[in-house]
Amino acid sequence: MASSPPLLSLLFISIAILLPSSSALPLCTDLRAPVTPKLPLSFCSYNGTSCCNSTDDSNLKKQLSAMNISDASCSSLIKSMLCTRCDPFSGELYTVESKTRRTVPVLCSSGFCDQIWDTCKDVPIKNSLFAASLKGSGSGSGGGEQLVTSPASTLIDLWQSKTDFCRSFEGNTSVCFDGETVVFNTSIPPSPKGLCLERLWDRAYLNMAPHPDGSNRVFLANQEGKIWLATIPEHGSGEKLGLDLSEPFLDLTDLVHRDTKYGMMGMAFHPDFASNGRFFASFNCDKTKESNCNGRCACNSEVGCDPSQLDEDGGVQPCQYQSVIAEFTANSSSPTTARPGEVRKIISMGLPYASNHGGQILFGPSDGYLYFMMGDGDTTKNPNNFAQNKKSLLGKIMRLDVDNMPSSKEIDNLGLWGNYSIPRDNPYIEDAELSPEIWAMGFKNPWRCSFDSERPEYFFCADVGQNTYEEVDLVTKDGNYGWNVYEGPELFVPPASTKPNTTKANVTLVAIPPIMGYKHIPQSSSASITGGYVYRSQTDPCMFGRYLFADLYATKLWAATEDPVGSGDYNKTLTTFACSNDNLPMACASVEGSSLPSLGYIYSFGEDNNKDVFILTSKGVYRVVRPSRCGFTCPIEHDLETTSNGRNATSASSCLNPPQLGHLIYFLVISILVLYAIV
């Protein structure tokens, strides 16, 4: 019996290790990134990055005073909770698992809630945070706003017992407050030994999107302007993509201008596509060949740019080529095809130069708004610095409401570029100089962005560099990512110069540095980053939670892990990859003189409804499969159990996933047998 407690401890530790983990991004409740206050906060005592400034700090002090708490110990506890609004993780503390903001942060299940009850249960509190929570009130964004005025009340007036009280405020989530610090889960899955791929198709595509109906179907689009509806085969079936090249879902080749840097650049399907059939295509057109290609030039007097003065490379007419987002609908009688004519132009904008014009579009998983990634549209000389021009849409990520169409008068009054309205919480509300479409700025050429499907507040964007550095950014509301004052984490050195950019913006710009990236190989211009996804499938459990990205030319793949979790610090690892040993369903091409697979150019990544990740390359479509199919070892790999439509049987976000469950049962059985033998 003397040995039982340590064994029980081992059992509980084993169970804890196997519990699903998640991570948090430092974000404030208004989705902005925390910043370093100019002066330390005197009331809440934050000296590092914070979601509060000195005014917010003062308001929180006033809010505590207005509560009129007579007991000093209780007042101290309430102050500590109020000040969590200034914590860099306040967005997670106050909005986790809820569409409305909490009045009280998520409390850790560690006894702190007991302490609050025992100390404050009989103490009258005016405008109590706890009373407001019963009325569904939200807390402020860090400024100490009290949205509900209420008379003095005690905890025992509102709750029958300590158990009921703590059940309302405790949470076993990724981020919680324990009375002194914000804590988060720090477990990381075992390191992967390599990435195993299977080749599903031998043609190149630039865009992939899962069907919003949740099925095992995806949409694939090429640069020429054709979209196909394809069926993803089940793992282990040995089948190719279910795709009929002769019957595209939609053919836009008559509208799309296709060249090395032009074409169909993105597509996005409305979250309610299954019922309304709405979807959107982002492409380039040529106004000299297409009469409906007629947007105004992004280089104009409003942004201080004269199109007649543009020094065009190769004699291209300024704004001859346009960046367009157009809306289309599926055929109601035949949902596997779309109506050929566009419903409306969402945006049509002339491009001043031939490069750096992004073009990806996607819907935000939490807000349902359309995000549009736009490059700076400038030349290598960067004469216009469009990315830092607050009136220009170039070098920006835009956020548009395509569900509420404005009148022509509203379009003219606001100077909009097409048929969309502005979400009310876009950052222009607080910056009159900022174009209302802008969500974030300071990008050179964002090439493939994605939301983490399990943590949608994580918005990753890969931004192509120029001279020295390719970067990955975590995008937040009103964030400025520095181009062209910065290239990556360092000051940008313009061409034909030996010194960094020393304009006034260099002194005043507060840029958010990239979370990771890589430098160019000296004397080589062949570098262009391709952003990917946070891997959330259980197909390769050792890859779970890692962000995958690549280089277009170098055929290199990286897997990045936040370590420690919640810190915002990422460690990237150059990842070995191979093709499945069985060569099913299609053999991979090999590098000449080597057994290594040749992917060709890595154009983009994709994700299906199972959260499996795909790599879209010049050699075809590849899917990440079980590591054992390539001879790689993952300690927690398991034989996938799938439903009839190929979905993972268990979701990691809701409960124990299959490998964790198997290991848990194993540990339970062994531990019980050992304990029984000892007893």
Compute the distance between CA of residue 368 and CA of residue 404 in angstroms, rounded to an integer: 12
Token pair 């990239």 is at which residue? Answer: 514
> How far from 8 is each of 16, 236, 659, 677, CA to CA, in Å?
12, 40, 22, 14
Kind and range of the H or E run holding 269: strand 264-269
In a domain, 286, yes or no: no
In a domain, 142, yes or no: yes
Kindly indicate the confidence band of residue 571, based on its pLDDT and cuts at 50, 70 and 90: very high
Q: State CA 473 to chain mean position distance.
A: 10
In a domain, 397, yes or no: no
In a domain, 115, yes or no: yes
Nearest to 453 by CA among 170, 217, 653: 653
Compute the distance between CA of residue 492 and CA of residue 482 in angstroms, rounded to an integer: 9
In a domain, 38, yes or no: yes
Token pair 């030996």 is at which residue? Answer: 498
Compute the distance between CA of residue 554 and CA of residue 560 in angstroms, rounded to an integer: 18
Q: Which of 218-222, 381-385, 625-629, 660-664 is least confident? A: 660-664
Token pair 């599903």 is at which residue? Answer: 200
pLDDT digits (tens, 9 = 90+) for 72-111: 999 999 999 999 999 988 888 887 544 567 889 989 887 8
pLDDT digits (tens, 9 = 90+) for 402-418: 999 999 888 888 889 99
In a domain, 114, yes or no: yes
In a domain, 386, yes or no: no
0.85 exceeded by pTM: no
Calculate helix-pair angle for 658-678, 4-18, nearest 10 degrees: 180
In a domain, 391, yes or no: no
Compute the distance between CA of residue 299 and CA of residue 306 in angstroms, rounded to an integer: 6
Beta bridge partners of 534: 547
Compute the distance between CA of residue 532 and CA of residue 606 in angstroms, rounded to an integer: 7
Kindly indicate the confidence band of residue 1, based on its pLDDT and cuts at 50, 70 and 90: very low
pLDDT of residue 204: 97
Compute the distance between CA of residue 648 and CA of residue 140 in angstroms, rounded to an integer: 39
Rounded percentage of the chain residues whose pLDDT exceeds 90: 56
Kind and range of the H or E run holding 219: strand 217-221
Residue with the larger pLDDT of the pair 593 and 373: 373
Q: Residues near 673 by Cβ (< 8 Å), separated by ≥ 6?
A: none
The domain tally of the chain equals 1
3-state helix, strand, coil in the chain (%, to 5): 20, 25, 55
Cis peptide before 212 (omega within 30 of 0): no
| Domain coverage including residue 145 | 24-184
Asked whether the beta carbons of 426 and 334 are under 8 A apart, the reply is no
Q: Residues near 526 by Cβ (< 8 Å), separated by ≥ 6?
A: 553, 554
Handedness of CA 638, 644, 647, 648 (dihedral sign): negative
